[in-house]
Amino acid sequence: MLISPISENQASEEVKNCYLDLKRALASQTLPIFFTYIGAFPEYLSYVTNQLVQNLEDPAFTSLINQLNNEVVTEIHARLQKSKETAEWISLYKNSPSFYNFQKDLAGISLTNAKLACIFITLREAVKGWAVAAKKLSESTVKRETEREELFTEDDFIFDRSVIESYRAIEDKNKDRLPAIKENYLARRSEGAIEKDILPDYLRISSSDFRQQMKYDYFWTLRVQLEEKVLSVLAMMPHLVFSPYNVIVGLTQKYENFYELLYLLSEQFPTLAMQRLMFSGYMMV
């Protein structure tokens, strides 16, 4: 049985409260999709949420994340060059108020993704026992690669469309927050022209560009180097995140598919969280 993610609308009161605590601590308008999979295991979600929130709300952790994110974005801009198509698109639309506002919001999105990278690499490090414990599971529980591929779509995690939806909701509330820029931009448009809805285009072009980058060794070399930066931050986290294999199993083994959670925490989520962080940094100009 594969994990069925639990959306906020489907969640029990206990799970929903954890979701709200995590969104508040992350300063995120939307719940990152990772947690909807952990939400299928309420006892573990509740256990780990308390530890994560304690760190996320600590000013010392915020300071660490700000520094980490600045370093990551600087490295990405230096090492991942945008394609000619993307560069030309940015040149064409960079003065659009919609694009300008979105770039400002991307700074916050990138910070959130830096926090997520820290969270899931921390949980991976805490569950190191998985490598040994996995040998004790029967072949029927570990050799299910085809089913695991159906567990999630990587695009849902890396190119999370809810980010765009969240941005649009914020933009609708603040249409006039940059009147001077808007007036300047509108003055340069041809009379009667309608401003193009550019965000879907930018997401499409950037994600296509980013996928191409992922095909090359230099991308994965950079990912490993950036992960080393995250690992260096973990040692300075103000509060311990204690989530070893035996604790996870104790809280989740009553669920038939608990081993899938172990697989996600130890293998998939850390990699996807790093790629998500890299993508948000890549979209920044």
Please indicate, yes or no, if residue 180 is contained in any of the structural domains: no
Cα separations in angstroms, 98 against 12, 63, 232? 37, 29, 36
How many residues make up the chain in this entry? 285
The answer, yes or no, to whether residue 19 has pLDDT greater than 50, is: yes
Please indicate, yes or no, if residue 191 is contained in any of the structural domains: no
pLDDT of residue 169: 54
* Average pLDDT rounded to a whole number, residues 148-157: 66
Please indicate, yes or no, if residue 97 is contained in any of the structural domains: no
How far is it, in rounded angstroms, from Cα 152 to Cα 45?
19
Segments forming the whole domain that contains residue 130: 13-84+106-165+202-283
* Average pLDDT rounded to a whole number, residues 52-75: 96
pLDDT of residue 167: 53
> Per the structure block, which two tokens stand in for 223?
């990912």
Question: Does the pTM of the predicted model rise above 0.85?
Answer: no
* Residue pLDDT, tens place only, 265-280: 998 999 999 999 999 9
Please indicate, yes or no, if residue 145 is contained in any of the structural domains: yes
Please indicate, yes or no, if residue 131 is contained in any of the structural domains: yes
Beta carbons of 93 and 99 less than 8 angstroms apart: yes
pLDDT of residue 55: 96
Please indicate, yes or no, if residue 235 is contained in any of the structural domains: yes
pLDDT of residue 115: 96
Beta carbons of 114 and 72 less than 8 angstroms apart: yes
Q: How confident is the model at residue 112 (pLDDT cuts 50, 70, 90)?
A: very high
Please indicate, yes or no, if residue 172 is contained in any of the structural domains: no
The answer, yes or no, to whether residue 58 has pLDDT greater than 70, is: yes
> Per the structure block, which two tokens stand in for 80?
């991942």
More confident residue, 169 or 87: 87
The answer, yes or no, to whether residue 191 has pLDDT greater than 60, is: no
Please indicate, yes or no, if residue 182 is contained in any of the structural domains: no
The domain total for the chain is: 1
pLDDT of residue 140: 42
Q: How confident is the model at residue 193 (pLDDT cuts 50, 70, 90)?
A: very low
